[in-house]
Amino acid sequence: MNWKKPENTKLINAILALKTPNETRRFLRDLMTEKEIKEFSNRLETAELLLKKTPYSVIEEKTGLSSTTVARVSKWLNGKEGGYRTILNRLHSHSSIQLGRELF
């Protein structure tokens, strides 16, 4: 993927410009269908479950994702890019700081 293409750079900058959970929720809803949002939410949940060593079969049942998608998330989770690991580490460190403060 060419992240330097102007349209890709613009998308990244748009995401970085979001300041509140409400802004982010509204932008994602405008950007994606409800089905796409659910798919991406399930992938993030899958990455978290994989870190907890949850069996694929349990993940598939819980998220509704296929074994192929679970395997792909596992590959990316353990790959060199580190996107899933970065965000999961940040979410976990923030959740311990916020102590029950709900984002939505």
Check whether residue 19 and residue 54 sit in a common domain: no
Each residue of 39-71: pLDDT tens digit? 999 999 999 999 999 999 999 999 999 999 999
pLDDT digit string, tens, across residues 77-87: 998 888 999 99
Q: Do residues 12 and 44 both lie within one domain?
A: no
CB 70 within 8 A of CB 46: yes
Q: Are residues 25 and 64 in the same domain?
A: no
Tell me: do 22 and 62 sit in the same domain. no
Dihedral sign, CA of 1, 67, 35, 100? negative
